[in-house]
Amino acid sequence: MNRNLLYIIPFIVLFAISCGPSAVDEAAQTITAESLLSHIEVLSSDEFEGRAPATRGEDLTVEYLTEKLQEMGIEPGMGDGSYTQHIPLLGQQIDGSSAAMNIRRNGQVAQQLDYRTDFMAWPSNEAERVQLRNAELLYVGYGIQAPEFDWDDYKGVDVEGKVLVFKNSDPSNDPEIFEGDSRLYYGRWSYKFEKAEEMGALGAIIIHTTPTAGYGWSVVENSWGRERFSLKGDDDAGTKPEFNAWITEEHSENLFELAGLNLEEMLEAAENRNFEPVPLGGVTLDVNLQANYSDMSTRNVLGQIRGSDADLMDEYIVFTAHHDHLGITTPVDGDSINNGALDNAAGVSAVLELAKAYKLVEPEMRRSALFLFVGAEEMGLLGSQYWAQNPTVHPGKITANFNMDGMQVYGETEDVVLVGYGRNTITDVIKQYADQDGRVVKPDPNPEQGFFYRSDHFSMARVGIPAIFPNPGRDYVDKPEDFIETVDSLSAANYHSVGDEINEYWDLTGMEKDVRLFFRSSFHILNAAEMMRWEDGDEFQAVREEMLMQAP
């Protein structure tokens, strides 16, 4: 052998290694359309009965997830060495036959409202009975206190013992505040009810209009008319308002007219920073509600892979996907199982495949990774809320959250949508890796709908964790020109219905491409020198800073 070759060969080998595929790229290649589909087929099968909490379907789901994590060699995520976090829930069912709401004018009943068609209401303090007579009403506009926007709808008025009446949504007439047309948490109905509790109000009523809610009255009626669930004992029930409610636009008009006010003018007045609370003089409210309660529980499933950097291994990235769906409901054309293939067997499959890929690069992980499959999302993000209140990792030790809820199942797209685009530094990393693929990252096309507050990443954001909610792109590759219309039609028809099943339009090449993108970009975040952060001025920046200070 030529002696010079003895010196050249090692450099050739090193060059070949450096130019060859990295371990991360090789791990990404294991995420395939076929492997993603395999999980979805199982989880969305009739055998799993729609995966409703506290059912046989949930038992099968938890068993499947636990088995897969064990097969991958992924450690349990609970401190006691288990994969499951038990979540106590309290069910509440209103007796519709006895529910009543009367509007009084100068002490006399002026109008009787019918439950479901005119109003929806429920005890907010876990009481079995609510009986109010001649309760005073106070219109508080949007009911927002936002010091960062110099906005206070209360102006120091004492609201204790009064029923607050709210306009839904948040101000949108000024692009400089409340992010213009985008709906912040200030605009969510849940914020209104939480604010009524904070202010010591007797009750809270939201005026429903389709533009301010983003949906018709039937959604309110169907959502709040069935058994409701909450985390058992999550708050001191004695400090809560007696009831929360919605009222239709028609009867809101009548309510304000009885007080000598015009509803349209009052809704418009709420757009002004100088708005002050308006008493509905001479008008009072009677409320009669009876509720029955039941105990149940659901489970989160957690697995983790520990990082190898002594200085960073106690910091995590967390991937979330809700494993529950609606279960068995009233039959439609003989089918009563809500299989939840897209919502959210697809998201669960994505997190399982991410976990598999991460296990292959475990030696190269500086930080740790937590794979969190949450329950009871369809009941109001309860599984993720419970984890956020009882975290297995301190929120100040988590760099980022990627939430998978509904994936791209209809083929490849040139773009990918991020709900939460630009709110934290995760966006920049995903854009960097999307650009390498020749793809474009776009913001939520419907920010006025407030999707950032409607999936499990919101529970993470509320405790300060920089979070992102990837959504399917809309610029399809090699599909008919009108294909997006087909996708929109399918999505509308199948959402929360027995039609959410694998169908002939499914093409998981797009999901494969997306999940590989999320793997590569999240791996970058996991190994970055600094943790992710919210952008200056974001509504979650302050709580993030607080959590970082509190972290052990």
Q: What is the DSSP string of 216-258?
A: -HHHHHHHHHS-EEEETTSS-GGGS-SEEEEE-HHHHHHHHHH
The reply to whether 286 and 138 lie within a common domain is yes
Question: Strand, coil or helix: what is 416?
Answer: strand
| Alpha carbon distance, N-terminus to C-terminus of the chain | 60
11 assigned to some structural domain: no
Give the pLDDT of the chain (552 residues) as one tens digit per residue: 444 443 343 433 333 333 346 999 999 999 999 999 999 999 999 999 999 999 999 999 999 999 999 999 999 999 999 999 999 999 999 999 999 999 999 999 999 999 999 999 999 988 999 999 999 999 999 999 999 899 999 999 999 999 999 999 999 888 888 888 888 899 999 999 999 999 999 999 999 999 998 889 988 998 888 888 999 875 555 568 999 999 999 999 999 999 999 999 999 999 999 999 999 999 999 999 999 999 999 999 999 999 999 999 999 999 999 999 999 988 999 999 999 999 999 999 999 999 999 999 999 999 999 999 999 999 999 999 999 999 999 999 999 999 999 999 999 999 999 999 999 999 999 999 999 999 999 999 998 888 999 999 999 999 999 999 999 999 999 999 999 999 999 998 999 899 999 999 999 999 999 999 999 999 999 999 999 999 998 989 999 999 999 999
Single out the residue in 240, 267, 290 at which a domain terminates. Answer: 290
The reply to whether 416 and 507 lie within a common domain is yes
The reply to whether 393 and 522 lie within a common domain is yes
The reply to whether 366 and 272 lie within a common domain is no
Tell which residue, 321, 327, 330, 342, has the closest CA to residue 492: 342
Q: Which residue is listed with tokens 């209104």?
A: 192
The reply to whether 357 and 488 lie within a common domain is yes
Single out the residue in 290, 324, 340 at which a domain terminates. Answer: 290
Residue 337: give the domain boundaries: 23-91+295-550
CATH number (domain holding residue 342): 3.40.630.10
Q: How many residues does the chain have?
A: 552
Helix 56-72 / helix 33-43 crossing angle, nearest 10 deg: 150
CA-based max dimension of the chain: 109
424 assigned to some structural domain: yes
328 assigned to some structural domain: yes
Assigned token pair, 317 = 């990235």
The reply to whether 284 and 324 lie within a common domain is no
Three-state SS sequence of 168-188: CCCCCCCCCCCCCCCCCHHHC
Query: d(Cα 388, Cα 372) in Å, to the nearest integer?
Result: 11
**pLDDT the model gives residue 5:** 40
Number of domains in the chain: 2
Contact, 116 vs 97, CB < 8 A? no
The reply to whether 318 and 387 lie within a common domain is yes
**pLDDT the model gives residue 238:** 52
6 assigned to some structural domain: no
The reply to whether 169 and 39 lie within a common domain is no
CATH number (domain holding residue 99): 3.50.30.30
The CA distances from residue 176 to 149, 229, 425, 448, 491, in Å, are: 9, 37, 21, 15, 33
13 assigned to some structural domain: no
The reply to whether 79 and 110 lie within a common domain is no
8 assigned to some structural domain: no
Contact, 326 vs 48, CB < 8 A? no
The reply to whether 412 and 343 lie within a common domain is yes
Which residues sit opposite 332 in a β-bridge?
Answer: 335
The reply to whether 193 and 78 lie within a common domain is no
**DSSP 3-state percent helix, strand, coil across the chain (nearest 5):** 35, 25, 35
Tell which residue, 431, 393, 167, 221, has the closest CA to residue 302: 393
The reply to whether 319 and 338 lie within a common domain is yes
The strand pair at 398-403 and 467-471 is best described as parallel
Q: What is the DSSP string of 81-142?
A: S-SEEEEEEEEEEE-TTT-EEEEEETTEEEEEEPBTTTEEEEESS--SEEEEEEEEEEE-TT
Single out the residue in 226, 256, 290 at which a domain terminates. Answer: 290
**What radius of gyration, in Å, describes the C-alpha atoms of the chain?**
26
Tell which residue, 409, 401, 523, has the closest CA to residue 458: 401
Contact, 287 vs 100, CB < 8 A? yes
Query: d(Cα 244, Cα 206) in Å, to the nearest integer?
Result: 8
340 assigned to some structural domain: yes
17 assigned to some structural domain: no
